Amino acid sequence: MEQYAINGGNPLVGEVEIGGAKNAALPILAASLMTDETVLVENMPDVRDTNILLKAMAGIGAHVERLDRHSVRINASLIHDLTVEGDSVKKIRASYYFLGALLGKYKKATVVLPGGCDIGCRAIDQHIKGFKALGATVSIAHGMITAEAPKLVGSHIYLDVVSVGATINIMMAAVLADGRTTIENAAKEPHVVDLANFLNSMGANIKGAGTDVIRIRGVERLHRTEYAIIPDQIEAGTFMFAAAATRGDITVKNVIPKHLESISAKLTEIGCEVRESDDAVRVVASKPLGHTHVKTLPYPGFPTDMQPQIAVTLGLSKGTSIVTESIFENRFRYVDELIRMGASIKVEGTTAIIEGVSRYTGASINAPDLRAGAALVIAALAAEGISVVDDIRYIERGYEDFHLKLQKLGAQIDKVESERELQKFKLKIS
Ligand code: EPZ
């Protein structure tokens, strides 16, 4: 099994190129099935989740041609199957985007019920409510969910919770429905806007994405497009906190600084210097860092996908910090691992009370999920001595070349596959 071997304690310094956003790429790839014409998607991250999705698309008959690592040409005119199943697709949350996309285009879809990171209850009632409002019947049997409709008709849908997935799924189903759809209390995340821009570039008529009311006027068909995915806000934020935790100096390049505002604000508040330019943000952590309170919220609030990374950093900052998780109830599973590295953190319900310590020490740790895994790698890079991080397949779901990008910033990190390779790493750094 692959692991990361890490020798921590050095500040990370340098520049890192941020890739395309995983959580925008996933719905955009699914939505590319909604036209019979050819779609070119660029700036696609080459990560496990996007590759699983592309394979599933090819499995139902789409022609998927990888032009290079980050560009793919898709033609879905010969789709022969409206059922998406299989073990790998079951493991990714985004498999549910096939529901909205195929229901929208073919008025029927059956998809294996989604998995994804084990970060808490991940209901899909709002997706179902939206599909039903558009006229579909939805049934669940044998682990599969089916949505179908003789025809979809626009509707007024108020989401009871702000949900990225439900907003995206309803948007996809509604673009080819008859008439107008309004989604109220919609999610405003940059990837919701990116999908709307992608669909509009295919001829859809979506207005208001990025606000909490999205208005869609159904069109008859979608057409070809060429589209580049936005930069990954969470990948960028992860490197920004890596700078803070290791007391380094990192410039994240190819980003949209506006998308990083809540992250930059917290870094500034705890004492980092954050310098923005047009498409880059530099984080310098030269002074001792202080404490703060932070609560995760839907965009433009502080992202739940950055919660473990800020907690790891606050664990090394002076004073008492409070981190409240308001989106997913099971997102503190990394805390036990961090405590094994010397952190002083107490979790009470959805709140973590963090007493800053002066250092972490290296340990053998497990990545419990994607973002927590990345955060634990940051902890290991900040820690004194050697750490081994297990279950890195979670991290590879959403970070492209994570260890290679870290190496370029001066990190001593290798991917190892055996005890022998781990010994080699230890010899190399001694
Ligand atoms: C997306 O998950 C992301 N995944 C997650 O990123 C991210 O953490 C999350 O949005 C919040 O930003 C993808 O984009 C593939 P939600 P999603 O629907 O769509 C509740 C990562 O690390 N809810 O916005 O599943 C739900 O339980 C991943 O990249 C309902 O109650 O999240 C949660 O409390 C992890 N009913 C809240 O809403 C529903 O029908 C937000 O969930 C849907 C959601």
**The whole model's pTM is what?**
0.97
Indicate the pLDDT class of residue 121, thresholds 50, 70 and 90. Answer: low
Q: What is the mean pLDDT of residues 117-134?
A: 86
> Is 350 touching ligand 1 by the criterion CB < 6 Å?
no
Each residue's pLDDT tens digit, 48-66: 999 999 999 999 999 999 9
pLDDT at 116: 58
What is the rounded distance in angstroms from the CA atom of residue 121 to the CA atom of residue 329? 7
DSSP per-residue string spanning 83-124: EE--HHHHH-GGGGHHHHHHHHHHSEEEEEPP----SS----
Neighbours of 260 (CB within 10 A): 26
Sheet arrangement for strand 63-68 = 63-68, 71-75, 38-42, 225-228
- Contact present, 253 and 16 (Cβ < 8 Å): yes
Is residue 358 classed exposed, middle or buried when 0-12, 13-18 and 19+ CB atoms within 10 A define those classes? Answer: exposed
Which sign does the torsion angle of CA 14, 19, 22, 23 carry? Answer: positive
**75 C-beta neighbours (distance < 10 Å), count:** 19
- With tokens 């099994």, the residue in question is 1
Residues belonging to the chain:
430
pLDDT of residue 411 exceeding 70, the answer is yes
* 23 annotated ligand binder: yes
Q: 258 — phi, psi (to 5°)?
A: -55, -40
Mean local confidence (pLDDT), 137-153: 95
Does any ligand 1 atom lie closer than 6 A to the CB of residue 164?
A: yes
Q: Do residues 84 and 55 lie in contact, with contact meaning Cβ atoms separated by under 8 Å?
A: no
Report the relative pairing of strands 280-284 and 273-276 from DSSP bridges: antiparallel
Cβ of 161 closer than 6 Å to ligand 1, yes or no, is yes
In the prediction, which pLDDT does 88 show? 84
User: Annotated catalytic, 121?
Assistant: no
Task: List the catalytic residue out of 84, 117, 285, 409.
Answer: 117
pLDDT in tens, 280-332: 999 999 999 999 999 999 999 999 999 999 999 999 999 999 999 999 988 99
67 phi, psi to nearest 5 deg: -80, -40
Mutating to test ligand 1, I would choose from 122, 309, 324 the residue with most ligand atoms within 8 A of its C-beta, which is 122
Residue 115 confidence (pLDDT) above 70 = no
Report CA(147)–ligand 1 centroid distance (Å).
Answer: 20
Cα 330 to ligand 1 centre (Å) = 12
* DSSP notation for 355-399: E--S--B--EEE--SHHHHHHHHHHHHHSBEEEEEE-THHHHTT-
**What's the pLDDT tens digit per position in 335-382?**
999 999 999 999 999 999 999 999 999 999 999 999 999 999 999 999
